[in-house]
């Protein structure tokens, strides 16, 4: 397979590309606009591979997309390019409309033009895999309900509404034009190379600097946490073996309250880099936890039923929340150069060297 990964310099996209290059024989084209969250340094370990190439392209640029398709001749698209931070979508929804909706439309049309000209066998084998989020489903009221592939959409934020819109576009392009699509909806990802504005890396880095650890409301919001490398494996299973037209929910079986997540990070840091080891009074990073005003429209609970992908494709997560979070905290302790360059903005300097 020859796979175009959109948003491949982002958190999940880079994990997918590392997995494709390290663990499969596929050829990969990384197509990324390199907005603030795009970081090619997350791909340093595979950048020299002869099976990898990078295109600095905005998915809203139809002409550039046509050029990439003509040059690379993909057999599959894995569409991860998206604006994804809920807080940013509340402060400025325009970028989310442009990238997540207009960008997905532009990519679908470029794909359709390319796909229509393929010979019959290649046309039949082609796949368009759209990667989405569980946030399109909205809020779960009960304590035992789960999101399934047939849960009605009820997005709460500009971010989730824009992703819901893109999901609908993808399914419409199959229904109307016959484009062979697959859709996945995942729970909250975490792991190495996560941009520091997100909850888990934000807490880790603030704690290391002795800064407050802000938690919205009372910290009782519940999320299902999925280790990013488990998610990458699931996505490759779907694009390789998934049934055209199907949706697959991907979750980690790790429902945790936000407060519990932050307290667990603090406990790991207490163990790995304890505070005031010479002090008579035992201190904990938990003392830095600070509750702040809740954000507008904040969903209380997300939880994924991932039984379909487990049953039909044989995927199960390899990491528990405990093992995955320990790996994540240790990674940030061991890779301070990566996140320090993100915090200073130096990662954006000279990052276009060698692009197509």
Quick one: how far is CA 200 from the chain centroid?
14
Report the pLDDT value the prediction gives residue 86, as an integer from 0 to 100. 85
Strand partners, 27: 2
Whole-number pLDDT of residue 353: 44
| Cα distances (Å, whole numbers) of residue 33 to 7, 130, 339 | 7, 18, 20
User: CA Rg, the chain, in Å?
Assistant: 20
Residue pointed to by tokens 């509404």: 161
Write down the pLDDT at residue 355.
45
Query: Could you list the active site residues?
Result: 134-135, 159
Residues 177, 66: Cα–Cα separation, whole Å: 18
Look at residue 356 in the predicted model and tell me its pLDDT.
43
Domain ranges of the chain: 2-195+224-258+301-321
Question: CA separation (Å) from 238 to 102, 107, 123, 224, 355?
Answer: 25, 20, 18, 20, 28
User: What is the separation of C-alpha 164 from the centre of its chain, rounded to a whole number of angstroms?
Assistant: 15
φ, ψ dihedrals at 242, nearest 5°: -65, 155
CATH second-level architecture of 2-195+224-258+301-321?
A: 3-Layer(aba) Sandwich (3.40)
Is 324 exposed, middle or buried, given 0-12, 13-18 or 19+ CB atoms closer than 10 A?
buried
What pLDDT score does 253 carry? 87
State the 10-residue block means of pLDDT for the chain, 356 residues long: 97 98 98 94 97 98 98 98 88 94 98 98 98 94 87 95 97 98 97 94 96 94 96 98 98 94 97 77 86 88 95 97 97 96 87 46
């Amino acid at each position: 397979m020859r796979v175009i990964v959109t948003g491949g310099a982002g958190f999940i996209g880079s994990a997918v590309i590392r997995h494709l290059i390290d663990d499969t024989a596929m050829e990969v084209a990384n197509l990324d606009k390199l907005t603030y969250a795009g970081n090619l340094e997350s791909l340093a370990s595979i950048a020299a591979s002869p099976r990898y190439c990078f295109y600095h392209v905005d998915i809203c640029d139809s002409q550039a997309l046509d050029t990439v398709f003509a040059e690379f001749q993909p057999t599959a698209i894995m569409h991860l390019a998206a604006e994804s931070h809920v807080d940013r979508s509340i402060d400025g929804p325009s970028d989310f409309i442009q990238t997540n909706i207009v960008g997905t439309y532009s990519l679908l049309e470029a794909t359709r033009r390319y796909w229509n000209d393929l010979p019959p066998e290649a046309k039949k084998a082609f796949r368009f895999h759209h990667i989405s989020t569980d946030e399109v489903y909205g809020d779960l009221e009960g304590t035992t309900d789960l999101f399934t592939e047939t849960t009605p959409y009820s997005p709460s934020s500009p971010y989730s509404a824009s992703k819901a819109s893109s999901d609908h576009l993808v399914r419409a392009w199959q229904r109307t034009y016959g484009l062979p699509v697959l859709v996945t909806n995942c729970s909250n990802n975490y792991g190495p190379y996560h941009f520091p504005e997100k909850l888990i890396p934000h807490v880790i880095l603030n704690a290391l600097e002795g800064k407050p650890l802000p938690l919205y409301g009372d910290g009782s919001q519940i999320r299902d946490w999925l280790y990013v490398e488990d998610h990458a494996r699931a996505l490759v299973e779907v694009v390789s073996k998934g049934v055209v037209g199907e949706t697959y929910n991907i979750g980690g079986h790790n429902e945790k309250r936000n407060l519990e997540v932050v307290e667990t990070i603090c406990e790991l840091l207490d163990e790995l880099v304890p505070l005031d080891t010479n002090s008579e009074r035992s201190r904990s990073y938990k003392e830095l936890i600070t509750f702040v005003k809740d954000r507008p429209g904040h969903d209380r609970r997300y939880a994924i039923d991932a039984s379909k992908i487990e049953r039909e494709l044989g995927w199960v997560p390899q990491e528990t929340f405990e093992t995955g979070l320990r790996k994540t905290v240790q990674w940030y302790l061991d890779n301070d150069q990566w996140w320090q360059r993100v915090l200073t903005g130096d990662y954006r300097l000279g990052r276009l060297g060698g692009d197509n």
